[in-house]
A and B are shown apart, each in its own frame.
Chain A
Amino acid sequence: MSLQRYLIKRLLVMIPVLFGVTLLTFSLTKMLPGSPVDYILQFQETTPGLRDQLRAQFNLDEPVYIQYWLWLRDAVMLDFGDSLISDRSVSGAILTRLPKTLLLGFMGFAIAISIGIPLGVIAAINNGNTVDEASRVAALIGIATPNFWLGLMLLLVFSVQLGLFRVIPPDKAVLSPAMLKFVILPAITLGTASSALIMRLTRSSMVEELNKDYVRTAKAKGLSERTVIVKHVLRNSMVSVVTVAAIQVAFIVNGSVVVEQVFSWPGVGRLLIDAITQRDLPVLQAIVLMIAVTIVFVNLVADLLYSWLDPRIRY
């Protein structure tokens, strides 16, 4: 199958998934007990007249499938209405928070990769000896540490006791020096578990590559160990690491919800938690949908990248 045909097939598969994702997100609010009007009013008492007016305004008198269609039509245009709490537009609220979450995510991802891949390579070269065993234990520890607890411990040691970092984020622009300094601890917290996973994967795919015939050939023709590993083995083993790195995006999103809470980071994750505690349904729906759609596309990119890097793979 050519890459183009694979792309078309892959895009077609995405349609039902995107449809399902929107349907699921839409039905979240329909599964809530009680009348939607109560949630819009935040459970305040009002006149029946106002209730009817709200029902009409939010299309609640229409059949459910029409409601879904209207909601989807607006959602595609990034119009999720206004927040029930702050009267701001939902997309506006998300967009002002998004740069902060992206900064945190990128930093966390950078840490995960810059720690995970080199350590994985070292472990693979030392396959079977104490270094490898130590890296295995380190990875298990990294995976088992709850990220919120790691964040609290870093906060305790480096911010409260040593006073090296601020306890709450500075109210500065996203790329200002103060912000970039503050983001270090949250990014470490976010990247730790991912780096452990990336490390184990780099190790196992490299061990597999190292046993292949071409490595022996390359060594036999007199290439240095370093050249063999950097130029041949690492490149080939990166194929599977790329896909997992893409999957880590979901992992990072997951972690950022918690990490933002630990460090009072004013990002989308905190907005999500606030939306739930305040029952701000439009915000909740918009964030959940945004995350899910992003992940569907990230997976698409990962699959395409994978089959571009390794043309044998088409499924």
Chain B
Amino acid sequence: MSHESQRTTTNERGRIRVTGFDTSVFEDRDERFDWQQDESTVSRDRLTRAWERFKRNRTALVGLAIIALMLFTTIFARPIVIEGITVQPFSLAPFDPTNSNFAALNEAPTATHPFGTDWSGKDILSRVMFGGRYSLTIGVITVSIALSVGVPLGALAGYYGGWIDEVIMRLVDILYAFPFLVLAIALIAVLGQGFWNMITALVLVVWISYARLLRGEVLSVKENEYVTAAKALGARDRSIIFRHVVPNAMAPVIVQATLGIGTVVLNAAALGFLGLGLEPGSPEWGSMLARGRSSLIQGQWWITVFPGLAIFLFVLSINLVGDGVRDAVDPQGDTSGGAGVRE
């Protein structure tokens, strides 16, 4: 009788009711073979295998090393103080990046100022080291938020189809009509300048590429037998989407997101250069170039060369890593390098 009650509870959960067979047969088998599905080991294996493939890619490792180095310099450039508590006491940058020294304006590179000083006497080396904080956080935060918007919407559109798909994809089509930077510029014109406004504008531009990409993948993944099986077993849509469909459709999105950090950093710097990024005078790499043109014409090349080099090096490294990630998680994916740059 105990078997009987157990059977009704397990089988009534889903959409279909299974009657007429004795579940104890299966329970017996489970006991006999001591077999159980352990999902954590499965996904860990997938990650381990991806890492194994990634490790073999030398250029990707070089990219990773450069990023690690830049991360290290920018974290230790100046102390980090959060709510009065010094989290990171070291200060590798020789000068305060926001401190103007009016005795040393527009100085060419010397031993004291290896990268020279700018029009207000700020040490460019210190600013380049410190400025990484802005660019890197903008890149990572923007891509993370964009993923958390784009992935669910893309998954819903692809899985359900119908009017949900129509609404989401038409919205994506509309936003796709605006070139990346033009849309970001227009949004910043409305929102105003500043760190979080810039991130908001970039997120609104970036999420569409993840949604579109994931939707396409979901369309093919949802045709797999294991999805049909999960449906037949009565799993809820939510768990089918987020436990079975999305993890198997994520590979190209992960690649795109890695490369996307580079795209976002590049465009954030372009906004800074146009004077639409952070507050004027912030040691952000792009903003440092905003007034660079006039100094350049006067021959003060160091003001533009070094911040630009930092952007270039970071974006290049991200692209190297992104290529490695593509080969690692999505071996069949296209190999047309640098697809992260959205039009």
A251 pairs with B336, CB closer than 8 A: no
Instruction: Assess the B174–A17 pair: CB atoms within 8 A.
Output: yes
What is the interface of chain B mostly: helix, strand, loop, or mixed?
Answer: helix
Q: How far is the CB of B222 from chain A (nearest CB, A)?
A: 18
By a CB distance below 8 angstroms, the chain B residues around A160 are 296-297, 299
A200 within 8 A of B: yes
Contact A254 B182 (CB under 8 A): yes
Contact of B315 among A29, A144, A253 (CB under 8 A): A144
Q: Do residues B301 and A156 form an inter-chain contact, with CB atoms below 8 A?
A: yes
Bound Cα distance A245, B78 (Å) = 45
Within 8 A of B (CB), among A268-286: 272-273, 276-277, 279, 284
Query: Any chain A CB within 8 A of the CB of B311?
Result: yes
Contact in complex: A148, B174 (CB < 8 Å)? no
A28 touches B174 (CB 8 A): no
> Are B343 and A17 interface neighbours, CB within 8 A?
no
B289-323 near A? 1/0 per residue, CB < 8 Å: 10011001101010011001001100110111001
A118 smallest CB distance to B (angstroms): 17
B173 at interface (Cβ–Cβ under 8 A)? yes
- Chain B: which residue is nearest A155 at the CB level? B296
List residues 134-167 of chain B with CB under 8 A from any CB of chain A. none
Does B264 belong to the interface (CB within 8 Å)?
Answer: no
| CB–CB A167/B170 < 8 A | no
Q: Please indicate the chain B residues that have their CB under 8 angstroms from the CB of A196 in the complex.
A: 338
A89 close to B (CB within 8 Å): no
**A78 on the interface (CB 8 Å rule)?**
no
Q: A204 → chain B, closest Cβ, in Å?
A: 4
Q: Which of B180, B270, B276, B315 has the most CB of A within 10 A?
A: B270
Residues of A with C-beta under 8 A to B336: 200-201, 203-204
Asked if residues B270 and A146 are in contact (CB atoms below 8 Å), the reply is yes
Tell me if A153 and B308 are in contact (CB < 8 A): yes
Contacts A136-B337, A160-B299, A276-B185; A251 near B312 (Cβ below 8 A): no
How many A-B pairs fall under 8 Å by CB? Answer: 155
Closest to A17 in B: B173
Known A-B contacts A16-B170, A140-B338; the reply to A149 vs B311 at CB < 8 A is yes
Chain A residue nearest to B308 in the complex (CB): A149
Instruction: Tell me the complex Cα distance, A200–B322, Å.
Output: 15
Min CB distance, A143 to chain B, in Å?
4
- List which A132-176 residues lie within 8 A (CB) of chain B: 136-137, 139-141, 143-149, 152-153, 155-156, 160-161, 167
Q: Smallest distance from the beta carbon of A75 to chain B beta carbons, Å?
A: 15
Q: Are A292 and B319 in contact (CB under 8 A)?
A: no
Asked if A179 CB lies within 8 Å of chain B CBs, one says: no
Contact A32-B190, Cβ < 8 Å, known A156-B296, A288-B182: yes
A102 to B305: give the CA distance in the assembly, Å.
Answer: 29
- Determine how close the nearest CB of chain B comes to the CB of A160; give it in whole angstroms: 6
17 new A-B pairs (CB below 8 Å) besides A155-B293, A288-B182?
Answer: A16-B170, A16-B174, A17-B173, A28-B186, A136-B337, A144-B312, A144-B338, A146-B312, A148-B273, A152-B289, A153-B304, A247-B343, A250-B179, A254-B181, A254-B182, A261-B274, A276-B189
Which A residues form the contact surface with B (CB < 8 A)?
A: 13, 16-17, 20-21, 24-25, 28-29, 31-32, 136-137, 139-141, 143-149, 152-153, 155-156, 160-161, 167, 193, 196-197, 200-201, 203-204, 247-248, 250-251, 253-254, 257-258, 261-262, 272-273, 276-277, 279, 284, 288, 291-293, 295-296, 299
